[in-house]
């Protein structure tokens, strides 16, 4: 039970985070079909939440590396019938080489990691989305270089993405401005360890002033659809639009983990504009996760 897990960005050191970013860029720019370090290995992918980018990127990544990926939903396993998590973790990990979970409760991932004999990857929980941050940071490094000392602005829901941005700020040493509606701030247990790297603002415009990267997410995430109307009211002043991007540095980038709702959290002018790097960001899920799989499964 000594496997290296990736349940959170904080499972990495700053040096390891940077190594994965640079390796992802290398893998992206030098695709070698003969390089198959995971030949014969199997990744179990457990999805309690549906996904486009997570499933395709992990499945394609395993194929590129010579391995295979199994798609498992609760309907297809005993997890949906109430089998204890630690039993499932022991059984599944005895048959595969790595497990990725995209689930609701963060405790599901940490419990799996505790009882798994192979590496466990957090593909998303309600509290954290570390794989997306690997891709986001790779994208920033590609377009603007190292993010150390820069300022990033998070506008919108203080959700799992915001929590992982706080962790990224701690590891990569950048400043994080946050503007969220009252009642939607990130959890205090994520904010306190970050110290003065995180600053809160009452308005999106103030948060975006002189920033290097503006980021947002949908106002109502998966599973919050019934809150949509209520959230539209709460978040109406937290949209990234041309005025917000104008307050940022001239070379500031815009990112969004997708899917996006044009006209809600971001205007079409911004997401389809010259500062947006959303499609490179989406593609980088593949390269960043290949680098992560290599790091977890091939590390000597």
Catalytic residues: 102, 129, 132, 217, 257, 285
Distance CA 263, CA 300 (A): 48
Distance CA 6, CA 8 (A): 5
Give me 264's structure tokens: 């809600």
- Residues contacting 59, CB < 8 A, separation 6+: 45, 69, 71
Give me 274's structure tokens: 């010259």
Q: Is residue 276 classed as helix, strand or coil in its secondary structure?
A: strand
CA neighbor of 65 nearest in space, from 93, 11, 27, 20 = 27
- Residues contacting 167, CB < 8 A, separation 6+: 8, 9, 10, 128, 130, 133, 190
Q: Work out the widest C-alpha separation in the chain, in whole angstroms.
A: 54
**Residue 178 and residue 201 in contact, taking contact as beta carbons nearer than 8 Å:** yes
Distance CA 273, CA 242 (A): 10
């Amino acid at each position: 039970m000594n496997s290296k897990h990736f349940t959170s960005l904080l499972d990495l050191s700053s040096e390891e985070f940077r190594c994965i970013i640079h390796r992802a860029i290398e893998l992206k720019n030098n695709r070698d079909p003969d390089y198959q370090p995971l030949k014969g290995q199997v990744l179990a992918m457990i999805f309690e939440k549906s996904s486009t980018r997570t499933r395709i990127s992990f499945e394609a990544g395993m194929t590129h590396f010579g391995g295979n990926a199994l798609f498992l939903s609760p309907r297809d396993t005993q997890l949906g019938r109430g089998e204890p998590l630690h039993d499932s973790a022991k059984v599944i990990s005895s048959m595969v080489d790595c497990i990725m979970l995209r689930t609701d409760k963060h405790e599901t991932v940490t419990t799996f990691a505790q009882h798994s004999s192979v590496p466990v990857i957090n593909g998303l929980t309600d509290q954290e989305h570390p794989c997306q941050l690997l891709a986001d940071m790779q994208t920033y490094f590609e377009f603007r270089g190292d993010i150390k000392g820069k300022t990033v602005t998070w506008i919108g829901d203080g959700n799992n993405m915001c929590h992982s941005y706080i962790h990224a700020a701690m590891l990569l040493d950048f400043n994080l401005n946050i503007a969220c509606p009252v009642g939607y701030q990130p959890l205090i247990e994520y904010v306190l360890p970050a110290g003065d790297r995180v600053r809160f603002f009452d308005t999106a415009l103030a948060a975006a002033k002189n920033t290097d990267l503006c980021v947002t997410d949908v106002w109502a995430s998966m599973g919050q659809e019934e809150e949509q109307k209520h959230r539209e009211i709460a978040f109406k002043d937290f949209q990234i639009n041309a005025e917000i991007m104008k307050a940022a540095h001239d070379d500031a980038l815009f990112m969004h983990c997708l899917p996006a709702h044009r006209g809600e959290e971001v205007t079409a002018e911004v997401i389809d504009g010259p500062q947006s790097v959303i499609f490179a960001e989406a593609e980088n899920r593949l390269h960043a996760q290949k680098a992560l799989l290599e790091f977890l499964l091939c590390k000597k």
